[in-house]
Amino acid sequence: MNIKKNNLDYGRIHLEQIINASDFWSIIDMLKDDNSDFIHNRNIIVDTFKNNTLFGLRVIETNEMYKRETQKDSVFWPGTFYLLPCFCIENEKTAIMDTFILEDY
Protein backbone atom coordinates (compact mmCIF):
# COMPACT_ATOMS: atom_id res chain seq x y z
CA MET A 1 0.00 0.00 0.00
CA ASN A 2 1.33 3.45 -0.90
CA ILE A 3 0.34 6.62 0.91
CA LYS A 4 -0.61 9.89 -0.72
CA LYS A 5 -0.70 13.45 0.60
CA ASN A 6 -1.52 16.56 -1.41
CA ASN A 7 -1.59 14.40 -4.55
CA LEU A 8 2.04 13.35 -3.96
CA ASP A 9 2.74 9.65 -4.02
CA TYR A 10 4.96 8.17 -1.33
CA GLY A 11 6.49 4.71 -1.25
CA ARG A 12 5.22 1.44 0.10
CA ILE A 13 4.56 1.01 3.82
CA HIS A 14 5.97 -1.88 5.81
CA LEU A 15 5.82 -2.98 9.42
CA GLU A 16 9.21 -2.67 11.05
CA GLN A 17 10.60 -3.59 14.41
CA ILE A 18 11.86 -0.49 16.23
CA ILE A 19 15.49 -1.29 17.05
CA ASN A 20 17.00 2.15 16.47
CA ALA A 21 17.36 4.17 19.70
CA SER A 22 16.76 7.39 17.75
CA ASP A 23 13.37 6.11 16.54
CA PHE A 24 12.53 4.99 20.08
CA TRP A 25 13.26 8.45 21.52
CA SER A 26 11.29 10.10 18.72
CA ILE A 27 8.27 8.07 19.84
CA ILE A 28 8.76 9.06 23.48
CA ASP A 29 9.31 12.72 22.53
CA MET A 30 6.16 12.82 20.40
CA LEU A 31 4.06 11.23 23.15
CA LYS A 32 5.32 13.90 25.52
CA ASP A 33 4.91 16.78 23.04
CA ASP A 34 1.35 15.70 22.18
CA ASN A 35 0.40 15.42 25.86
CA SER A 36 -0.74 11.88 25.14
CA ASP A 37 -2.11 9.88 28.05
CA PHE A 38 -0.11 6.97 26.68
CA ILE A 39 3.08 8.64 27.99
CA HIS A 40 2.07 7.30 31.41
CA ASN A 41 2.80 3.85 29.95
CA ARG A 42 6.37 4.79 29.07
CA ASN A 43 7.78 1.93 31.17
CA ILE A 44 5.84 -0.49 28.97
CA ILE A 45 7.24 1.18 25.87
CA VAL A 46 10.79 0.94 27.25
CA ASP A 47 10.28 -2.74 28.07
CA THR A 48 8.86 -3.51 24.62
CA PHE A 49 11.80 -1.73 22.99
CA LYS A 50 14.24 -3.78 25.09
CA ASN A 51 12.30 -6.98 24.31
CA ASN A 52 12.12 -6.27 20.56
CA THR A 53 8.31 -6.16 20.55
CA LEU A 54 7.91 -2.48 19.55
CA PHE A 55 6.94 -1.93 15.92
CA GLY A 56 6.28 1.01 13.64
CA LEU A 57 5.24 1.68 10.07
CA ARG A 58 7.98 2.93 7.77
CA VAL A 59 7.69 4.16 4.19
CA ILE A 60 10.26 2.76 1.79
CA GLU A 61 11.92 5.65 -0.03
CA THR A 62 11.41 5.82 -3.78
CA ASN A 63 13.53 7.69 -6.32
CA GLU A 64 10.76 10.29 -6.63
CA MET A 65 10.70 10.80 -2.87
CA TYR A 66 14.48 11.26 -2.91
CA LYS A 67 14.26 13.82 -5.72
CA ARG A 68 11.50 15.73 -3.88
CA GLU A 69 13.51 15.61 -0.62
CA THR A 70 10.49 14.32 1.26
CA GLN A 71 12.32 13.05 4.35
CA LYS A 72 11.27 16.11 6.38
CA ASP A 73 7.67 16.18 5.15
CA SER A 74 5.12 16.59 7.91
CA VAL A 75 3.59 13.17 7.23
CA PHE A 76 6.62 11.55 8.94
CA TRP A 77 7.64 11.55 12.58
CA PRO A 78 10.19 14.32 13.14
CA GLY A 79 13.77 13.09 13.49
CA THR A 80 13.11 9.72 11.86
CA PHE A 81 13.80 8.26 8.45
CA TYR A 82 10.28 7.94 6.98
CA LEU A 83 8.61 6.58 10.13
CA LEU A 84 4.86 7.22 10.20
CA PRO A 85 3.40 8.63 13.44
CA CYS A 86 2.19 5.38 14.96
CA PHE A 87 3.52 2.40 16.84
CA CYS A 88 2.39 -1.06 17.84
CA ILE A 89 3.28 -3.09 20.92
CA GLU A 90 3.16 -6.84 20.46
CA ASN A 91 2.45 -9.25 23.29
CA GLU A 92 1.29 -12.85 23.49
CA LYS A 93 -2.45 -12.16 23.44
CA THR A 94 -3.04 -8.74 21.90
CA ALA A 95 -1.45 -5.91 20.01
CA ILE A 96 -1.81 -2.39 21.35
CA MET A 97 -1.78 0.29 18.68
CA ASP A 98 -1.44 3.98 19.32
CA THR A 99 -1.59 6.42 16.43
CA PHE A 100 -0.71 10.07 16.30
CA ILE A 101 -1.73 12.42 13.54
CA LEU A 102 0.49 15.46 13.33
CA GLU A 103 -1.36 18.78 13.19
CA ASP A 104 -0.49 19.67 9.62
CA TYR A 105 -1.11 16.22 8.14
- Tens digits of residue pLDDT in 33-86: 888 787 888 898 899 899 998 998 888 888 888 888 887 787 787 778 888 888
Read off the pLDDT of each residue in 84-89 and give the average, rounded to a whole number: 82
Amino acid at 87: F
Q: pTM score, two decimals?
A: 0.74
CB neighbour list of residue 10: distance below 8 Å, 6 or more residues apart:
2, 3, 4, 59, 62, 65, 70, 75
In eight-state DSSP terms, residue 17 is E
Residue-range domain boundaries for the chain: 22-53
pLDDT at 41: 82
Q: Is the pLDDT of residue 105 over 50?
A: no
Task: Name the more confident of 80 and 1.
Answer: 80
